[in-house]
């Protein structure tokens, strides 16, 4: 089955760290760039981070730059997000998402999403 399954979400105190993982199955993982997108409770979608198929290109939203690190292990079909110096405003449901092979532009839409893992940052 083609799917993404996130894990690692938890309740953590401000300033602490957390590592999220995303397991990919049913497709050739190392053919595709991957993203993390988050959604605060009752709010809209916020793009967090991007990693190219070979980890050669990485990008972050300004709100997480310098605190979060995206990585992938193509041998294990897994994507990760290391989250340091967590803040209450990082509280959200974190989705991993796969880039589509379709689209005429260089930048592709996201055609496969996981169900999300909840991160709560609170004392």
Please report, as ranges, the residues that interact with another protein according to CB under 8 A. Answer: 35, 44-47, 50, 59, 61, 95, 100, 102-111, 113-116
Q: How far is the CB of 3 from another protein (least distance, A)?
A: 10
Burial degree of 99 (CB within 10 A; 0-12, 13-18, 19+): buried
Q: How far is the CB of 29 from another protein (least distance, A)?
A: 18
Give the residue with the Cβ less far from another protein, 29 or 95. Answer: 95
Give the residue with the Cβ less far from another protein, 75 or 101. Answer: 101
**What are phi and psi for residue 67, nearest 5 degrees?**
-115, -35
The tokens of 61 are what?
Answer: 């939203």
Using DSSP, state whether 27 is helix, strand or coil. Answer: coil
């Amino acid at each position: 089955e083609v799917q993404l399954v996130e894990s690692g979400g938890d309740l953590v105190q401000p300033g602490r760290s957390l590592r999220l993982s995303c397991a990919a199955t049913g497709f050739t993982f190392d053919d595709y760039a991957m993203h993390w997108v988050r959604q605060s409770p009752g709010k809209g979608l916020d793009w967090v981070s991007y990693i190219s198929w070979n980890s050669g290109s990485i990008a972050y939203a300004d709100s997480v730059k310098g605190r979060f690190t995206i990585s992938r292990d193509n041998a294990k079909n897994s994507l990760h997000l290391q989250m340091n110096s967590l803040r209450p405003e990082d509280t959200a449901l974190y989705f991993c998402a796969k880039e589509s092979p379709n689209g005429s532009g260089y930048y592709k839409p996201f055609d496969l999403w996981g169900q999300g893992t909840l991160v709560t940052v609170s004392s």
